[in-house]
Amino acid sequence: MIKHLPDNHSNNFIKLRNSLISSTGKAIGDYNMIEEGDTVLVCMSGGKDSHAMLMILLALQERAPINFKLIAMNLDQKQPGFPADILPAYFEKLGIDYRIVEADTYSIVKEKIPEGKTTCSLCSRLRRGVIYTTAKELGANKIALGHHRDDIVETLFLNLFFGAKLKAMPPKLATNDKQNIVIRPLAYCSEKDIASYARQMEFPIIPCDLCGSQENLQRQKVKEMLQGWEREQPGRINNIFRAITNIEPSHLADTSLYDFKNLSQAKAEDEDPLFGDIANEGAALSLASTEGSKIEFVRNK
């Protein structure tokens, strides 16, 4: 029997859970992430995000108008002290199909990356290879990752600051070999809500001792920057995410996205915001359109 609710659930928890399910369902629908007959490999790291993703997908599976299969997968990277028994016992309790894949990527990362250097890039590539291979072996055509809205926004700034690109994590993408589609069902969910949900569900969390302990990661610095902005102006992270979904190529500078060279006649969408200040544009437009308002020009005498 799958346990969707903690024993002492409250009305606030029910609202939170329903909100996460609704946001996940909307993301799946908006990007057509899961279709009839799909087999979805749900990648489980043991962290709060993947636990929440699995539970929400299970809830959606029960109520969705389509049939799809879920297979939970955990990659045992052979990190010292890794509690290999926790997730299998948890999956058994849930009564779901699962696979535990053993691959000693830990030793490879420690051998190749000098002490003190960031391990995430190599570790991620190695994990990705194992996941793609496993998906092919199991006949899974979709791979679900637990990245949420905040991860997507953080990636935008990492690429902006260190890669000179306006690039984030897409909610859905095709793998390089064109064999799988990677989906991020939690793309519309905030980390704050996921963390609250995970705490109340009391998931068996397994921390990452390989990269999770690296406090000087650039991603952590970007996270702290965004959290500071969010404290100053709540809703800012969500606005940044919404901006990723609302692109105006004519107001950027990428000639491959917009034909600036052959632009000879102004279009409505090309016009710059008033005074170049988007924050004041709404107020300025409102003032200019006020009924009966007059603008007087004063000649110099």
How far is it, in rounded angstroms, from Cα 261 to Cα 6? Answer: 60
How far is it, in rounded angstroms, from Cα 181 to Cα 60? Answer: 19
Q: Bridge partners of 172?
A: 183
Q: Are 60 and 28 in contact (CB under 8 A)?
A: yes
Give the residue extent of every domain in the chain: 11-243
Q: Are 104 and 78 in contact (CB under 8 A)?
A: yes
DSSP state of 73: E
pLDDT at res. 180: 86
Residue type, 297: F
Both tokens of 241, joined, read: 């995410």
Residues 70-116: pLDDT tens digits? Answer: 999 998 877 777 888 999 999 999 999 999 998 777 777 776 666 66
Nearest residue to 211 (alpha-carbon basis) of 43, 47, 41, 42: 47
DSSP strands (E only) in the chain: 39-43, 69-76, 98-102, 142-144, 172-174, 181-183
pLDDT at res. 105: 73
Residues 142-194: pLDDT tens digits? Answer: 999 999 999 999 999 999 999 999 999 999 999 887 788 999 999 999 999 99
**Residue corresponding to tokens 């995430």:** 120
pLDDT at res. 275: 47
How far is it, in rounded angstroms, from Cα 56 to Cα 173? Answer: 21
CATH number of 11-243: 3.40.50.620
